[in-house]
Every structure is written in C-alpha cells, then in structure tokens.
Amino acid sequence: MPVLVLEDIDKTFGGLKAVSNFGMTLEKGEIVGLIGPNGAGKTTVFNMITGIYKPTAGKITFLDQDITGLSPYLVCQRGIARTFQNIRLFKGNTVLDNVRAVYHPRSGYGLFDAVFRTPRFLKKERQITEEAMELLEALGLKERAYDLAANLPYGAQRRLEIARALAGKPRLLLLDEPAAGMNPAEVVRMVDLIKFVKEKFDLTVLLIEHQMGMVMRLCERLVVMDFGQIIATGLPAEVRCNPVVLEAYLGKGATVA
C-alpha cells in the first residue's frame, strides 16, 4: 500500500498556474527528493499535502484515505509532519515547549485536569515531558531544552524543527530544504541525521532540496519540477544526466562536462 498518492493536482492563484497536473506516489520507507528551480512549485505541493492550500483540482490520498482539502491540524493528526523552508519555530518558547506543544491534541487530559492539576494531569505531563526529552536527546538538543528556541544556532534550529515534527508521531515526513544555508560539513551531518530518524521512527520521507550533494547522497528517487509540472522522474544518477533537467536548471544547450 502506498503511503501517499497525489493524482492530477492543479493549483491556480488567480490566473497563475502554480502547479498543474501533478501526480506522484510514495511507497513506504522511501526517501524521495522533490527538486527543481526556484518558483517551480515545490513548496506549493507541500502546502497542498499539509492542507495549507486546497488544491484547485485533484486528489490526495494518505494511507488509503482521502485527505484532499482537510485542515492542516487534521492532516497532521493523520500522520503527516513537515518542516519549513524559512524555519518557523515557536521562537519565544523554550526548546522543550516547542516539542511539547505538539502533544496537545493527544495530551490525554482535559481542561479541568489542567486547571486543577489532577493526578491524571501530573502523570500525563510527566509522560509527555519524558517523551519530548527523549526526542531532544535523539536530535542532540537535550542540553538546550530550557533555552528559548530563538537563541539556538541555525543548525540546531533546523534540528529542532525536525524534533518538533517527529513529536506528532508521523508516518510521513516532509522536509522543505532542510540543508538550506548549511556548509558542506553540516550537510553531511544533516544527511546522516535524516537517515537516522527515518530508520528510528520508521518513516517515509519526501524532501525538497537544492543542494545536489545532499540529494544525491540521500534520495532513492527524484521528482523534478519546473513551471508547476513534473519534467522528469527517476534515479538520482539518471536525472542528473537528463537533458530536460539540465535545460530547466542551466538553460538550453547545457551539457554535463
């Protein structure tokens, strides 16, 4: 059973066709890269999967259930988590609270328990805190649990976004340029980290990335977009030599040296 199926997705903003006739299937346990020049519509695809945008046409199926047009919080509760291209942490909150916030829909206690601090509240809170701490430890953030998210260095903020996404116990993880702005050494560490969380949390991963080094090292399969459409799919090595892809990135007449 495929994890995610997108069928004939269109998205128009006024007269602009941001995405048209987009289709793809993700199998369980895959790491697939979504690449393409700036403005190709990659993030728009993410926004449609996570419910921020409703597709103008088409159908999105997640684990055999239609999730087209579902509100973002419901999509998340079904098991899709994401990170953002321009990091969107809860900056004024602590690192720990960034992760713990995600437990809200399944905290296991109600408003009454919270306000009167019943035994159930204390028990569940301890559980949530322990789990969140484990996550932070797995991503090397435990020492900074009580710092404000805004005060973390850039790389750690990227890791925290992943930790926060994982707190929702997702089946599918969408990463929007996780290595943006990182130096080569940091990119290598990010690749290892993504492989590690994918195995540890039994995930399927779809990522948008511009750093070809990262894409080649990480992805089993690539989908290339340009002007809102898929222009190529295949193994990283194939896509790299595909003339259509080279043209999209570098202009007509480009070849691999």
Going from the C-alpha of 38 to that of each of 16, 41, 105, 145, 209, the distances in angstroms are 16, 8, 35, 35, 11
- CB 48 → other proteins: shortest distance, Å? 13
84 counts as binding other proteins under rule CB under 8 A: yes
Q: Which of 2, 37, 72, 236 binds other proteins (CB under 8 A)?
A: 72
Q: Which of 44, 50, 68, 211 binds other proteins (CB under 8 A)?
A: 50
68 counts as binding other proteins under rule CB under 8 A: no
Number of residues written out for the chain: 257
151 counts as binding other proteins under rule CB under 8 A: no
Rounded CA-CA distance 144/66 in Å is 39
- Closer residue to other proteins (CB): 36 or 51: 51
40 counts as binding other proteins under rule CB under 8 A: no
Other CB atoms within 10 A of residue 145 CB: 17
φ and ψ of 203, to 5 deg: -105, 160
Other CB atoms within 10 A of residue 184 CB: 11
Instruction: Compute, in degrees rounded to 10, the torsion defined by CA atoms 50, 52, 58, 61.
Output: 20
- CB 200 → other proteins: shortest distance, Å? 20
Q: Which of 27, 66, 130, 192 binds other proteins (CB under 8 A)?
A: 130
200 counts as binding other proteins under rule CB under 8 A: no
Rounded CA-CA distance 22/10 in Å is 7
Angle between helix 154-167 and helix 184-200 axes, rounded to 10 deg: 10
Number of residues that bind other proteins (CB under 8 A): 51
Residues that bind other proteins (CB under 8 A): 50-52, 71-73, 75-77, 81-82, 84, 88-94, 96-98, 100-105, 107, 109, 111, 114-117, 121-122, 125-126, 128-130, 133, 142, 145-146, 148, 164-165, 167-168
